[in-house]
């Protein structure tokens, strides 16, 4: 009778786990070395005063319908030096700009009829590299976010109006001051011209008086000689 032990040993060899790959410690250098590049967003000189997730639409006049511009984050950015505020929105994945315009005193934001999470406004937008008159509609995830956006938008627009009024008042004051200075210079010059004219009028009188005295002396000399 043949023994089955060899077959059993053969099966144990087949079932034995394969040996793990040994770490040789070799290091492979990258083929291309990438250097860190500083990316400018154009927002370095601005402070963020509003940052909310939303979805933006623009009204297509030709098609007479709303078209989606993108979903992402809408921001109100205030310039550190000029104080001007602009609205910027980028798409969340591509970071493509879908809205970029200044918030001006003439702008007003209105609630969207039938949707309390959305609002509308007109703007001269520069997102496509050229100024376009756009009608925007923005939709938020909650009513609270929509109200926050509308209140901040309106507050910024009114503050820009007061700044413009202050600038106009300052410009008017400077203009009045310049006019006052110019008027004073004209008056001073007129006074100087008048003084010069008076002096010139007096000089002929002195000359005439001297001439008369000379003639009198000549007459007296002639009389004494006769």
DSSP 75: E
Measure CA of the first residue to CA of the last residue in the chain; give whole Å: 197
Architecture of domain 46-163: Roll (2.30)
- Domain residues of the chain, as ranges? 46-163
pTM of the model: 0.58
Contact 69, 144 (CB under 8 A): no
What gap in Å lies between CA 92 and CA 115, rounded to an integer?
23
pLDDT tens string for the chain (226 positions)?
444 555 545 555 555 555 556 667 677 777 777 777 766 777 889 999 999 999 999 999 999 999 999 999 999 999 999 999 999 999 998 999 999 999 999 999 999 998 999 999 999 999 999 999 999 999 999 999 999 999 999 999 999 876 655 554 455 555 555 655 556 565 666 666 665 555 555 555 545 555 555 555 555 544 455 4
H runs (alpha helix) in the chain: 5-15, 143-225
- Considering only CA atoms, give the Rg of the chain: 45
């Amino acid at each position: 009778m043949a023994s089955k032990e060899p077959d059993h040993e053969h099966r144990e060899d087949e079932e034995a786990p394969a040996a793990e790959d040994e770490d040789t410690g070799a290091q492979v250098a990258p083929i291309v070395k990438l250097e860190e590049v500083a990316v400018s967003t154009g927002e370095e000189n601005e402070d963020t005063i509003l940052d909310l997730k939303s979805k933006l639409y623009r009204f297509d006049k030709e098609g007479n319908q709303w078209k989606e511009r993108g979903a992402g984050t809408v921001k109100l950015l205030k310039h550190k030096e000029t104080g001007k505020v602009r609205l910027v929105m980028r798409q969340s994945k591509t970071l493509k700009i879908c809205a970029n315009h200044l918030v001006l005193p003439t702008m007003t934001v209105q609630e969207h009829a039938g949707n309390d999470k959305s609002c509308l406004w007109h703007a001269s937008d520069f997102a496509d590299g050229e100024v376009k008159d756009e009608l925007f509609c923005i939709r938020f995830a909650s009513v609270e976010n929509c109200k926050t956006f509308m209140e901040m938008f309106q507050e910024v627009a009114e503050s820009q109006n007061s700044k413009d009024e202050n600038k106009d008042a300052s410009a008017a004051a400077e203009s009045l001051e310049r006019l006052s200075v110019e008027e004073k210079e004209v008056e001073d010059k007129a006074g100087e011209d008048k003084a010069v004219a008076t002096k010139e009028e007096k000089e002929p009188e002195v000359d005439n008086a001297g001439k008369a005295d000379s003639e009198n002396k000549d007459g007296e000399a002639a009389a004494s000689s006769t």
